[in-house]
Amino acid sequence: MLAGRLVVSVSLVLGACGDDGAGPVDAAIIPVDIDNGSCGDQVRFTGEYIDWDSHNSFCGINEAVIEVAGGGAMDNTAPNGRFDLCAPDAPTTRLDVTQPAGNSQCTTPPSGYSVPTILFANKAVIQSGGFFSGRSFTTARQATFFQMIGAAFDSNKAHVFVHIDGPERTVSISAPHGLTQSVRVGIVSNDWVTGAQGTDVFFPNVDVGTGTTMLTTDTAAIGTGSIPLVAGTITNVSIKSM
């Protein structure tokens, strides 16, 4: 039986209506009932880890190991890519991914996941009811994707994938990077296109610098702020539209 439930309130900043779209800001308190399961004084972190093109043809990444960095809790992903574990009660938590040993269960051509990947969990997003969705590409898809955007995958630079739970946003990071790609399902197409507005946004070849960058959006969202950068690694972040 699940032990205990964590009930939180999230303040959402909503702009008042006006002829020019500007006006005073009102704060609406929306209670969110988060099922904390058996995590006790920790935070239940659940979500999915899926293939790069799952917006076209869903494909979970099976048997990846998701582990709190530094030797914390871990979970193996299910065939649909879902995971469920207890994370520290901290504003943010980094989780390392050990990719599955074999090829993807559902991509063509057969290929495995070889690019190092991390997940970056944000407590405020979790408590707002935001859904975490992380992605990675197979070795074969890495080659065709970077060929499509006219760049080479640079293993000396970082790569950032941002999932927006809710209405799409225009996303920015402060570090220099390659040509931004996004998915705008049902609006432009169901495939990757050049641009920073969408429900999924990818920043390739990001300068690592000091190892962090600032993530921002054009309008309010939960989960923006400093995120980690690691050379040759995809950082997965999920934010919640407000």
Q: CB neighbours of 90 closer than 8 A, spacing ≥ 6?
A: 43, 123
Of residues 99 and 35, more confidence is placed in: 99
pTM (2 decimals)?
Answer: 0.85
Identify whether 228 is preceded by a cis peptide bond (ω within 30 of 0).
Answer: no
User: Which candidate, 27, 44, 240, 1, places its Cα nearest to that of 128?
Assistant: 240
Would you say how long the chain is, in residues?
242
Residue 140 — pLDDT band, cuts 50, 70, 90? very high
CB 179 within 8 A of CB 194: yes
pLDDT digits (tens, 9 = 90+) for 110-120: 999 999 999 99
Distance in angstroms (rounded) separating the CA atoms of residues 67 and 56: 28
